[in-house]
């Protein structure tokens, strides 16, 4: 009888520990991001371009958060209103072949895409500075 109790208790503890380990492993998995994967800025050759674009939009929203769209453009030297949009100065480096020009803001949330000139990868930054690779 004592032998059965020890075996049952041991088996129960093993199941509990295995379940707890499994839940811990699953809770740290951010999988299922559906089309993007996070990366560190050192891995992304257009990280500086995206961060500068994000900062330009964030600065403009800090001045006036009522804009639904902000345009990044190299043909202005100061924020101005053109085409019914707030247009802010921005130029990207040779690392990028393209940086999204018109940014849509939804309740303060926005994303900006850029294509790497070297790898043709598309990267995205959000309003919080999180970089993700855009995959199809």
Residue count of the chain? 136
Q: pTM of the entire structure?
A: 0.69
What does the pLDDT look like over 27-37, one tens digit per residue?
334 444 445 55
What is the rounded average pLDDT of the residues 18-40?
A: 45
């Amino acid at each position: 009888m004592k032998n059965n109790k020890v075996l049952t208790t041991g088996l129960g503890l093993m199941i509990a520990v295995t379940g707890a380990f499994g839940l811990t492993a699953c809770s740290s998995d951010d999988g299922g991001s559906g089309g993007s994967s996070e990366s560190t800025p050192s891995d992304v050759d257009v990280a500086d371009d995206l961060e500068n674009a994000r900062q330009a939009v964030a600065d403009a929203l800090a001045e006036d958060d009522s804009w639904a769209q902000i345009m990044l453009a190299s043909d202005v030297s100061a924020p101005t209103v053109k085409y019914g949009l707030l247009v802010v100065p921005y130029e990207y480096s040779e690392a990028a072949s393209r940086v999204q020009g018109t940014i849509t803001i939804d309740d303060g949330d926005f994303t900006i895409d850029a294509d790497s000139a070297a790898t043709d990868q598309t990267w995205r930054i959000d309003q919080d500075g999180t970089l993700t690779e855009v995959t199809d």
